[in-house]
């Protein structure tokens, strides 16, 4: 039930059921109020008429006329439960079909609802007490127990109708929820796949004219337009990177040839060497862009295999350990085995290497870097914690954008593609890249599904 309550369809069903039940109860209650009011007025009118008739005969013919009228009405009354009682000033019975003046009815005139025994069963009775000339007392009434029974029956019926209506509303809400949830889950699966980078996915449609299919067509048209724009930008950047990489490589070869062929003037060799280094940096940027494009396309999924994360993290940490020692830093690795992920071993190693390389780059001399691989909530968490300046909380969302450089990285070498590649590798494997404060420093955590639980996204076109 706790999973059903947040459902919009179930809440709507319950709301409509509540509105229907309340409106039905209000309508039936109004009808009951009008009906019982009419019956009460009719009963009161009959009682008043009988009372006036006895009073008139009393005034016209005296006590004998009143007694004769009461006896006549007892004999001819259509309602066998009609109450008539004429008493003297001391409330002693003179005529009527009641043995004694009811104890619940005072001697003062007025309307009263009392319970009188009928065949040893108490019945609710509506009575009118009036004073007659000579201080005589007259009591006239009608049994209204049937009306009470009908009212109780209607109330019980309303209670059962409300309970049944609520039950049907719950059943209807569950059925509506299942029907709507299937459509919503299809949209959710598609959007999740798109978030992971597969822009070719589309929301399935039933080719009908209902609201969901109209929404589906609108979403699919939007996705098609987004894919066209993204592919255009991606293809343009990839084409530029590919086309410029070749002439840059040729230019680099020519400059190296010039450096080797003949003695150069003082300072020229240094300038040429710096130019070669700049060209190498540009080629590295283009290679990184092409690598990112290759990862985003998802072609690597065909080569997925079982990867021992514990061993991989240990090997990558050992590879970067000399670089950390050159900066007088402490690099430690702590892993838990077995820890297996299904994915591309080279890409995961490159992602972990990028995280360690960033940590070494931004951690000051004498700092500490700790690399760990643990199992967390059924997933593999590879964390790289450093004691550097870290990333400000308001900049962490943009840290994985291409070419983004935070305030703390302005004076360090790099172009802002390392974390972009790590994020792309995480998406390729159905994982995430998270950042946290190490106080001081940064904790960058690459989270990947363990083998057997990885959610593989179909590759794009």
pLDDT in tens, 125-171: 888 888 888 888 888 888 887 777 777 777 787 778 777 777 777 77
| Better pLDDT: 332 or 181 | 332
Report how far apart, in Å, the C-alpha atoms of 256 and of each of 244, 259, 262, 276, 375 are.
Answer: 18, 5, 11, 8, 49
CATH 3.30.450.20 residue window(s) in the chain: 8-151
Check residue 102 and report its DSSP letter.
Answer: -
Question: Tell me, which fold does domain 302-449 have in CATH?
Answer: Heat Shock Protein 90 (3.30.565)
pLDDT at 303: 63
Mean pLDDT of 208-226: 79
Total residue count of the chain as it appears in this document: 461
* Residue pair 371/317 in contact by the 8 Å Cβ criterion: yes
As a whole number, the mean pLDDT across the chain is: 76
Paired strand residues for 343 = 305
Q: Cα(357)–Cα(361) distance, rounded to whole angstroms?
A: 6
Residue closest to 388 by CA, chosen among 319, 454, 437, 449: 437
> For residue 3, what pLDDT is reported?
46
What's the pLDDT score for residue 387?
Answer: 86
Can you list the positions of beta strands (E) in 62-120? 83-87, 93-96, 110-118
Compute how many other C-beta atoms are within 10 angstroms of the C-beta atom of residue 288.
18
Query: Distance between CA 284 and CA 314 in Å, rounded?
Result: 26
Q: Give long-range contacts, CB 8 A cutoff, 24+ apart: 159-163.
A: 161/21, 161/24, 162/21, 162/25
Asked if residue 255 lies in contact with residue 268, where contact means CB atoms within 8 angstroms, the answer is: no
Provide the pLDDT for residue 1.
42
CATH 3.30.565.10 residue ranges of the chain are: 302-449
Interatomic CA distance for residues 223 and 119, integer angstroms: 83
Q: Is the dihedral of CA 238, 244, 247, 251 positive or negative?
A: negative
Q: Is the pLDDT of residue 456 over 50?
A: no
Give the residue among 124, 126, 129 at the shortest CA–CA distance from 101: 129
Asked if 194 contacts 223 with a C-beta cutoff of 8 angstroms, the reply is: yes
DSSP reduced 3-state for 14: helix
In this structure, of 25-34, 145-154, 188-197, 259-268, the range with the lowest mean pLDDT score is 259-268
Cα-based distances in Å from 399 to 5, 350, 404, 418: 38, 18, 6, 10
Q: How confident is residue 119, by pLDDT bands cut at 50, 70 and 90?
A: low
Mean pLDDT, rounded, for 299-306: 65
Among left, alpha and beta (phi > 0; psi -120 to 50; other), residue 124 is beta
Percent of the chain residues topping a pLDDT of 70: 73
Q: Which of 372, 351, 373, 371 is nearest to 363 (CA)?
A: 371
Which parts of 38-98 are beta strand (E)?
83-87, 93-96
Q: Shortest CA distance to 446 belongs to which of 300, 339, 360, 364?
A: 339
336 pLDDT above the threshold of 50: yes
Domain with CATH 1.10.287.130 in the chain: 211-297
Query: Burial letters for 56-88: b for 16+ Cβ neighbours within 10 Å, e otherwise?
Result: ebbeeeebeebbebbeebeeeeeeebbbbbbbe
At 415 the pLDDT is 57
Q: Among 244-253, 319-328, 342-351, 367-376, which is the least confidently predicted range?
A: 244-253
Q: pLDDT band at 296, cuts 50/70/90? A: low
Is the pLDDT reported for residue 54 higher than 70? yes
Distance CA 207, CA 193 (A): 22
Q: How many helices (H) and strands (E) does the chain have?
A: 8, 12
> Contact, 442 vs 386, CB < 8 A?
yes
Query: Average pLDDT in the 187-197 region?
Result: 76
Judge whether residue 221 has pLDDT over 70. yes
- CATH number for region 211-297: 1.10.287.130
Task: Spell out the alpha helix ranges (H) of 298-370.
Answer: 309-326, 345-362
Looking at residue 7, its pLDDT comes to: 59
pLDDT interval class at 460 (50, 70, 90): very low
Q: Is CATH 3.40.50.300 the classification given to domain 8-151?
A: no
Mean pLDDT of the 373-391 span: 85
Q: Give the confidence band of 378 by pLDDT, cuts at 50, 70, 90.
A: confident
Average pLDDT over every residue of 426-453: 82
Across the range 213-227, mean pLDDT stands at 81
Instruction: Give the CA angle between residues 234, 240, 241 to the nearest 5°.
Output: 90
Give the model's pLDDT for residue 170: 72
Rounded to an integer, what distance in angstroms lies between the CA atom of residue 395 and that of residue 24? Answer: 58
Of the segments 12-16, 54-58, 417-421, 447-451, which one has the largest average pLDDT value?
Answer: 54-58
Of 27-31, 104-108, 381-385, give the range with the top mean pLDDT.
381-385
Say what the pTM is: 0.46
pLDDT at position 70 over 80: yes
Is residue 311 predicted with pLDDT exceeding 50?
A: yes
- Cα separation, 454 vs 428, whole angstroms: 10
**What per-residue confidence (pLDDT) applies to 347?**
81
pLDDT surpasses 50 at 240: yes
Span of 198-212, 255-269, 376-390, 435-449 with lowest mean pLDDT: 255-269
pLDDT value at 419 more than 60: yes
Tell me the longest C-alpha to C-alpha distance in the chain.
157
Tell me, what's the pLDDT at 267?
63
């Amino acid at each position: 039930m706790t999973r059903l309550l947040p459902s919009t369809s179930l809440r709507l069903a319950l709301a409509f059921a509540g509105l229907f039940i309340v409106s039905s109860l209000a309508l039936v209650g109004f009808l009951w109020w009008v009906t019982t009011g009419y019956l009460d007025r009719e009963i009161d009118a009959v009682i008043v008429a009988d009372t006036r008739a006895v009073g008139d005969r009393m005034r016209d013919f005296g006590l004998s006329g009143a007694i004769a009228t009461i006896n006549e009405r007892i004999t001819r009354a259509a309602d066998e439960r009609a109450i008539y009682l004429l008493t003297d000033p001391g409330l002693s019975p003179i005529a009527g079909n009641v043995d004694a003046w009811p104890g619940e009815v005072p001697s003062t005139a007025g309307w009263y609802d009392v319970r009188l025994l009928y065949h040893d069963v108490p019945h609710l009775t509506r009575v009118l007490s009036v004073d007659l000339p000579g201080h005589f007392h007259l009591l006239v009434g009608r049994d209204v127990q049937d009306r009470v029974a009908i009212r109780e029956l209607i109330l019980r019926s309303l209670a059962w109708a409300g309970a049944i209506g609520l039950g049907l509303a719950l059943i209807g809400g569950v059925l509506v929820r299942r029907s709507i949830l299937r459509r919503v889950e299809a949209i959710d699966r598609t959007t999740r796949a798109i978030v992971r980078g597969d822009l070719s996915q589309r929301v399935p449609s039933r080719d009908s004219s209902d609201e969901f299919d109209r929404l589906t067509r609108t979403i699919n048209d939007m996705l098609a337009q987004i894919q066209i724009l993204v592919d255009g930008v991606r293809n343009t950047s990839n084409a530029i990177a590919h086309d410029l990489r070749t002439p840059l490589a040729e230019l680099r070869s020519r400059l190296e040839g010039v450096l080797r062929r003949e003695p150069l003037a003082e300072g020229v060799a240094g300038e040429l060497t710096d130019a070669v280094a700049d060209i190498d940096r540009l080629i590295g940027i283009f290679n990184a862009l092409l690598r990112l494009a290759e990862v985003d396309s998802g072609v690597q999924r065909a080569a997925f295999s079982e990867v021992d994360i514990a061993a991989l993290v240990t090997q990558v940490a050992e590879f970067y350990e000399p670089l950390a020692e050159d900066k007088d830093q402490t690099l430690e690795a702590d892993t838990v085995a077995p820890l297996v992920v299904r994915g591309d071993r080279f890409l995961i190693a490159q992602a972990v290497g990028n995280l360690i390389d960033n940590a070494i780059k931004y951690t000051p001399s004498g700092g500490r870097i700790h690399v760990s691989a643990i199992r967390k909530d059924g997933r593999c968490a590879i964390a790289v914690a450093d004691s550097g300046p870290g990333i400000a909380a308001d900049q962490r969302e943009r840290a994985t954008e291409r070419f983004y450089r935070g305030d703390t990285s302005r004076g360090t070498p790099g172009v802002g593609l390392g974390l972009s590649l790590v994020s792309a590798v995480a998406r390729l494997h159905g994982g995430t890249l998270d950042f946290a404060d190490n106080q001081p420093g940064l904790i960058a955590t690459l989270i990947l599904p363990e083998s057997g639980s990885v959610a593989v996204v179909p590759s794009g076109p």
